[in-house]
Amino acid sequence: MQTLIDIFSLPFMGRALIVGTLVSLCAALLGVVLVLKHYTLIGHGLGEVGFAALALAMVLGLPPMAVAVPAVVGAAFFIMWYGQKKGVSGDVTIGVMATAALSLGVILTSVVRGFNVDVTSYMFGSVLAVSESDVPLSVGLSALVLLTYGLCFHKLFAVSYDDAFARAIGVPVDAYQFLISFLTAVTVVLGMRMMGSMLISSLIIVPALSARRLVRSFRAMVVLAAAISVVCFLMGIVVSCLTDLPAGASVVMVNLAALAVSALVGRVRR
Helices (H), the chain: 2-8, 11-36, 42-60, 64-86, 90-107, 117-124, 134-161, 163-168, 173-195, 200-214, 218-243, 247-269
Ordered by where they begin, the domains of the chain are 2-269 (1.10.3470.10)
Query: How many residues are listed for the chain in this entry?
Result: 270
* pLDDT tens per residue across span 143-158: 999 998 988 888 888 8
Residue type, 244: D
Query: Alpha-carbon dihedral of residues 247, 251, 257, 261, nearest 10 degrees?
Result: 150
Question: Amino acid identity, residue 11?
Answer: P
DSSP code per residue over 12-61: HHHHHHHHHHHHHHHHHHHHHHHHHTT-TTHHHHHHHHHHHHHHHHHHHT
Residue 117 is predicted with a pLDDT of: 47
Q: What is the pLDDT along the chain (270 residues), one digit of tens a residue?
A: 666 666 667 766 788 888 889 999 999 999 999 888 877 778 778 888 888 888 888 778 788 778 888 888 888 888 877 766 666 566 677 778 888 888 888 787 776 655 554 566 667 777 666 777 778 888 888 899 999 898 888 888 888 888 888 888 888 888 888 888 888 888 888 888 778 777 888 889 999 999 999 988 899 999 999 999 999 999 998 888 888 888 888 899 999 999 999 999 888 877
Look up residue 189 and give its amino acid.
V
| Residues whose CB is less than 8 angstroms from the CB of residue 74 and which lie 6 or more positions away in sequence, other chains included | none
Q: Residues 150-176, buried b or exposed e (16+ Cβ, 10 A)?
A: eeeeebbbbbbeebeebeeeebebeeb
Please tell me whether residue 196 adopts helix, strand or coil conformation.
Answer: coil
Rounded Cα distance, 175 and 168, in Å: 15
How many percent of the chain have pLDDT more than 70? 86
pLDDT of residue 5: 65
Whole-model pTM: value is: 0.86
